[in-house]
Amino acid sequence: MSWRRWPLGVLVATGIISGICRAAELPDVSPFRREADGSVRELPADSFLLRLADLRLLPTLVQPVVEPTIDPQGKTPEELRALERQRAQAKAIHEQRQKRLPMWVRYGQGSPMQWLRQLPPAELDALILELIYSRQFEHAIHVLMPLSRAGDRAAAVRMKQLALVFAMQEEYERAARQLEAAVEIEGKIEATDWRRQVERTYLLRLLHQRQRETRRGSFRETEAGLDDLFGVRYVGESGQFEPGTLAAEQKAKLPVDALAVVQQLLLWLPSDRRLYWQLGELYNAQGDLRRAEAIFDNCRFAMELRHPLLDRHHQMVRERLEQISAEKQARREAERQAAEAEIEADRAKTRERMTYLLPLMLPLAGVLLLLQLREWRRRWRGLVERGCCGR
């Protein structure tokens, strides 16, 4: 079967993966760019959250396709034709998926490497990334395990992909072992290789912390709930959480690329709820209350993350936003009232001027009226005299 005959839904999934998941492991490309001073700047929030939403959408693209039912009652001919087209498209996608998943069953269960080696590198990368980010973990492990045993740098990349698979399954001990083995094979790295620095410093730290938590108890029973990636407490100068600010002492501990680090970790582990919570804390520390509140809300309700600290921070940020909104509304109301008062003051001044000018204007108007009457009288007499002379 040709991989170029994928159905529309799978092509969309592969397009998203090849355009977004390149930060994962293959090819060696990261969406983050170094600045002139050598620092790595985070992605714009809206752009990053769109990437993350696309990654989280991938599992839905490989779910069984449900053909829409057609009820002709109350439908126009155009609507019925549109439903028919949707139904035919869904049926075609479903039939194509049935033909291609899983490939190793169709090509021989005993030796998947035989056809894996025949795939062009780009198609193999697309297959692996699709399996990982569509959460087909069993199939991903089936493909990656043979490829990770060669002991070379290409195998190290597959080991890191296996680490992501195990981390997504919350098997942190196996994930840490795979990542440590990959790091050992790769050896030293260049100082400019920021993505591998994130792997070795922060991803490995995250896996070790999660591994210890798994051994001693549940996530809710941990001291802070947040992963200690940077040695920072998200508190204000008062020593307590404060919406929109971070104590100077804690801010000094944050690396300049902290937000970029968490964004990269989320591109590797897009469904990780606690990393997403940490992203919200960093946006709050930057003063971006509205985005922090949206992330906290998403963590609590859409992702169903339950922790007292998250609940409290979300409540405080939401109350602060409501307070800011009320203050803005009060300022707008005060500005409106001030503008109305200014207009009324101008009207009052106009009336006052008229009050002063009216005593002066009335005699003047009377004189002008008298002069006008005299002029009319003079003209009338002239007309009468000319008429009399004419007779």
Instruction: Write the pLDDT tens digit of every residue in 105-163.
Output: 444 444 556 667 677 887 788 778 888 888 889 888 988 998 898 888 889 999 999 99
pTM: 0.73
Q: How many CB atoms lie within 10 A of CB 254?
A: 18
SS3 85: helix
Concatenated DSSP letters of 342-387: HHHHHHHHHHHHHHHHHHHHHHHHHHHHHHHHHHHHHHHHHHHHHH
Distance from C-alpha of 255 to C-alpha of 266, rounded to nearest angstrom = 17
Tens-place pLDDT, residues 3-36: 333 333 443 444 444 444 444 443 344 688 877 7
Q: Which amino acid is at 53?
A: A
Q: What are phi and psi of 34, to 5 degrees?
A: -80, 145
Query: What pLDDT was estimated at residue 297?
Result: 95
Please check whether residue 209 is in contact with residue 227, taking contact to mean a CB–CB distance below 8 angstroms. yes
For the segment 322-369, what is each residue's pLDDT rounded down to a tens digit? 999 999 999 999 999 999 999 988 888 888 877 877 777 778 888 888
Q: What is the pLDDT of residue 142?
A: 86
Of the candidates 186, 174, 115, which has an alpha carbon nearest to the alpha carbon of residue 141? 174
Q: Residue 20: its pLDDT value, please? A: 43
Of the options 1.25.40, 3.30.70, 1.10.1740, 1.10.10, the CATH number for the domain spanning 234-344:
1.25.40
CA-to-CA distance for 243 and 240, rounded, in angstroms? Answer: 10
Asked whether the beta carbons of 147 and 131 are under 8 A apart, the reply is no
Nearest Cα to Cα of residue 24 among 68, 58, 1, 64:
58
